[in-house]
């Protein structure tokens, strides 16, 4: 409710810019959701195949080290997560945490950067040659 009252008091140009920014966040979240859907399916199918083939974690890591195709796939997965999470987390912070718009967006973006850095580090650890 706070955001609505603030938006009503804001000049028309500011409201239009806010609406455009919100539409862009919505667009990128939906686009990243499509990428995530494909990545999740590929990841799960690969895991089921590996488990049913009797591969151990050590054998799987042995196959992924130095395989840059695997690295590219999981890097795409991480980037899609880092793009997808911030708008949703910002909405949760606003609606449940009572955060203001700027604070909620800042929290979402900071978490997205953290997710990106940790995820890419994990991809490097799995793919980098031993």
Kindly state whether residue 18 falls inside one of the protein's structural domains.
no
- Mean pLDDT in the chain? 91
Kindly state whether residue 49 falls inside one of the protein's structural domains.
yes
pLDDT digits 0-9 by tens, 37-89 = 999 999 999 999 999 999 998 999 899 999 999 999 999 999 999 999 999 99
Structural domain boundaries, residue 61: 25-127
Kindly state whether residue 13 falls inside one of the protein's structural domains.
no
Kindly state whether residue 73 falls inside one of the protein's structural domains.
yes
Longest dimension (CA), the chain: 63
To which residue do tokens 């494909």 refer? 38
Distance separating alpha carbons of residues 56 and 60, to the nearest angstrom: 6
To which residue do tokens 């195709």 refer? 69
What is the number of domains present in the chain? 1
Give me the mean pLDDT over the 3-23 stretch.
74
Kindly state whether residue 64 falls inside one of the protein's structural domains.
yes
| 24, pLDDT greater than 70 | yes
Contacts of 18 (CB under 8 A, 6+ apart): 7, 10
Kindly state whether residue 34 falls inside one of the protein's structural domains.
yes
Contact 76, 39 (CB under 8 A): yes
Out of 6-10, 23-27, 74-78, 99-103, least confident range:
6-10
Dihedral sign for Cα atoms in the order 98, 104, 108, 113: negative
In terms of pLDDT, which residue wins out, 96 or 5?
96
Residue 3: band (very low, low, confident or very high) from pLDDT cuts 50, 70, 90? low
pTM value is 0.83
Kindly state whether residue 35 falls inside one of the protein's structural domains.
yes
Q: To 10 degrees, what angle do helices 57-64 and 101-127 make?
A: 90
Kindly state whether residue 79 falls inside one of the protein's structural domains.
yes
Distance separating alpha carbons of residues 19 and 3, to the nearest angstrom: 12
What is the predicted pLDDT for the residue at 6? 54
């Amino acid at each position: 409710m706070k955001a609505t009252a603030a938006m009503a008091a804001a000049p028309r140009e500011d409201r239009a810019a806010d609406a455009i920014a919100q539409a862009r966040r919505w667009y990128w979240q939906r686009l990243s959701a499509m990428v995530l859907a494909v990545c999740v399916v590929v990841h799960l199918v690969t895991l089921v195949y590996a488990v049913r083939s009797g591969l151990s974690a050590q054998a799987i890591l042995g196959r992924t080290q130095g395989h840059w195709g695997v690295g590219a796939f999981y890097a795409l997965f991480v980037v899609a997560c880092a793009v997808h999470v911030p708008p949703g987390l910002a909405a949760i912070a606003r609606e449940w945490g009572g955060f203001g718009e700027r604070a909620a967006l800042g929290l979402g973006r900071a978490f997205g950067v953290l997710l990106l850095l940790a995820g890419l580090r994990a991809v490097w650890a799995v793919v980098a040659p031993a």
